[in-house]
Amino acid sequence: MGEAIAAHRDGRLDAAEALYGKVLQRQSGHPDALHFLGVLCHQRKRSEDGIRLVRLALRATPRHADAHNNLGNIHKECGELAEAEACYRRALSHQPGHHDALSNLALVLDVQGRVDEAGEVYARFLAQEPQLGQAHYLMGMFRRRHVNEIEDVEEAARCFANACRLDPQNVRARDALGVALYMLGRSSEAVEVYRDWMARDPGNPVPRHMLAACGGEPAPARAADDYVRKVFDGFAASFDEMLLKNLHYRAPQVLVAALVDRLGIPQASLDVLDAGCGTGLCGPLIGPHARNLVGVDLSGGMLEKARQRGDYDELVEAELAGWLQTRPSAWDVVLSADTLNYFGDLLPVLSAAGNALREGGWLAFTLEVLDGDEDRVELSASGRYRHSRACIERVLEDAGFSDPSITVDSLRKELGKPVRGWVVLVQKRGTGD
Ligand SMILES: C[S@@+](CC[C@H](N)C(=O)[O-])C[C@H]1O[C@@H](n2cnc3c(N)ncnc32)[C@H](O)[C@@H]1O
């Protein structure tokens, strides 16, 4: 068992599976071997086997809180939230202070929209573990997700500050603290948070980018590749954050609905590029129009999630603007949901998109709204850029596009408020048009 667990921890899954198998040959009901082999099967996308094995383990050791919690995790990651909730509650009935079961229970309640119950569980976790940075961090994130008034942001900032004090290694808490301080108008404190983080971890692109977002350094022309990879690989690796991030997220739906109005009846006849495809949320929406659907993204972690969905003919790990330049006249549609807001200067990427489209092809993208009549772009505290309408119109013209349709819709909720976005559609005109 020791060797099997060590192999499992190191990610040597073939070896671990073989060793658990050997243990079970000698003792078919070995509860730990059944339990861990179940977790491993789920990791290898054999979740039904995983659930069956952990249940067998629990028959032998029905009071094993870790096994109930892990069974809950498998259900949660299969989208079976009610089953997951029941497992976490069973874990807590046997071990009321089980950290993971408490935070997992709060999460599945939150994702099911049972916000008050989720808040009670986060509060219970915090009351039980006041010295645990993670308990403060999770409470802060909960407050931030459900902001109603400015006091909630202040409370979230207090939670993040406690989390950083109790656990200086918690980089997510540091990031969240910087954003909350900036939101509260305490930008010099936010700058301090990012400078301190940079001093502790000089190679990390996140504090570098966020320092610029808080006005502590000049903004780069676009988010650096290493920043984008780090942030999105991190999201993709954390299933829970993905779940929560997508709670009020609707850029793919809004963008594709506007686009398909122009495309007419789906005939599976178009070559479509999903530019910055992320986990592939646009794939199933645009799929009926596509004869060939390709996704491109910088983040290998996000692409892996898109691959698992199975909607794309091809997925490419590359920087968007550079890659588009190498594909002249290849696409009938280039769509990009919530991705060009990682570009401050839009000209290189929109020119490349113009080059990559065929005559008559459609370019469709979202950006975040910067109010005002002037031609302006701003890197905001979220780490994303916001563009004014005049800026988008000018860059589209410089990139060779004319007559864009630019409408406003809500793309997501942040700090309790809708984030307004531009939904931009423009067609590449032929030389005779
Ligand atoms: C917020 S996600 C949106 C993903 C997807 N379009 C959706 O709506 O769900 C932004 C994506 O853009 C990608 N991205 C940002 N800048 C990029 C660049 N320069 N080249 C390629 N991908 C980029 C990120 O890796 C991330 O997956």
Helix, coil or strand: residue 132: coil
**What residue type is assigned to position 364 of the chain?**
A
Nearest protein Cα to ligand 1, atom 27: 278
Phi-psi region of 276 (alpha: psi -120 to 50; beta: other; left: phi over 0): left
* Domain contains 59: no
Would the CA dihedral through 255, 259, 264, 265 be positive or negative? negative
* Ligand 1 lined by 256 (C-beta under 6 Å): no
Tell how far the Cα of 323 is from the centroid of ligand 1, in angstroms. Answer: 14
Domain count of the chain? 1
**What residue type is assigned to position 178 of the chain?**
G
Strand pairing class (357-369; 385-387): parallel
Q: How many CB atoms lie within 10 A of CB 281?
A: 22
Tell how far the Cα of 278 is from the centroid of ligand 1, in angstroms. Answer: 5
The Cα 142–Cα 403 span in angstroms is 43
* Ligand 1 lined by 278 (C-beta under 6 Å): yes
* Domain contains 283: yes
Q: How many CA atoms lie within 13 A of 19 on its CB side?
A: 16
* Ligand 1 lined by 299 (C-beta under 6 Å): yes
Q: How many CB atoms lie within 10 A of CB 185?
A: 10
Ligand 1: atom nearest CA of 302 is 27
The Cα 292–Cα 17 span in angstroms is 38
The Cα 39–Cα 52 span in angstroms is 10
* Domain contains 99: no
* Domain contains 296: yes
Q: Does residue 300 contact residue 228 with C-beta atoms inside 8 Å? A: no
* Domain contains 8: no
- Phi and psi torsions of 330, nearest 5°: -100, -15
Q: How many CA atoms lie within 13 A of 119 on its CB side?
A: 11
For 196-219, give the DSSP string: HHHHH-TT-HHHHHHHHHTTSSPP
* Domain contains 223: no
Q: Encode the chain (433 residues) as per-residue pLDDT tens digits.
A: 999 999 999 999 999 999 999 999 999 999 999 999 999 999 999 999 999 999 999 999 999 999 999 999 999 999 999 999 999 999 999 999 999 999 999 999 999 999 999 999 999 999 999 999 999 999 999 999 888 888 899 999 999 999 999 999 898 899 999 989 988 989 899 999 999 999 988 899 999 999 999 888 999 999 999 999 999 998 888 877 777 777 788 999 999 999 999 999 999 999 999 999 999 999 999 999 999 999 999 999 999 999 988 999 999 999 999 999 999 999 999 999 999 999 999 999 999 999 999 999 999 999 999 999 999 999 998 899 999 999 999 999 999 999 999 999 999 887 778 899 999 999 998 765 5
DSSP conformational letter for 114: -
For 250-265, give the DSSP string: -HHHHHHHHHHHHH-S
* Domain contains 189: no
Write b or e for each residue in 90-122: b if 16 or more Cβ atoms lie within 10 A of its Cβ, otherwise e: bbbebbeebbebbbbbbbbbbbeeeeeebbebb
Contacts of 123 (CB under 8 A, 6+ apart): 139
* Domain contains 377: yes
Q: What is the CATH number of the domain that holds 408?
A: 3.40.50.150
Confidence (pLDDT) at 433: 58
Q: Which domain holds residue 311?
A: 245-427
Does an H or E element contain 35, and which?
Answer: helix 31-43
C-alpha dihedral (200, 204, 209, 211), degrees to nearest 10: 0
Confidence (pLDDT) at 279: 93
Distances (CA, A) of 170 to 155, 164, 182, 237: 18, 6, 19, 16
Q: How many CB atoms lie within 10 A of CB 308?
A: 10
**What residue type is assigned to position 185 of the chain?**
G
Strand pairing class (405-414; 417-427): antiparallel
Residue of 241, 254, 256, 298 best suited for mutating to test ligand 1, as the one with most atoms within 8 Å of CB: 298
* Ligand 1 lined by 31 (C-beta under 6 Å): no
Helix, coil or strand: residue 403: coil
Residue of 274, 316, 320, 342 best suited for mutating to test ligand 1, as the one with most atoms within 8 Å of CB: 342
Question: Locate tokens 């069956």: which residue?
Answer: 52
* Ligand 1 lined by 57 (C-beta under 6 Å): no
Report helix, strand and coil shares of the chain as percent, to nearest 5: 55, 15, 25
The Cα 2–Cα 229 span in angstroms is 35
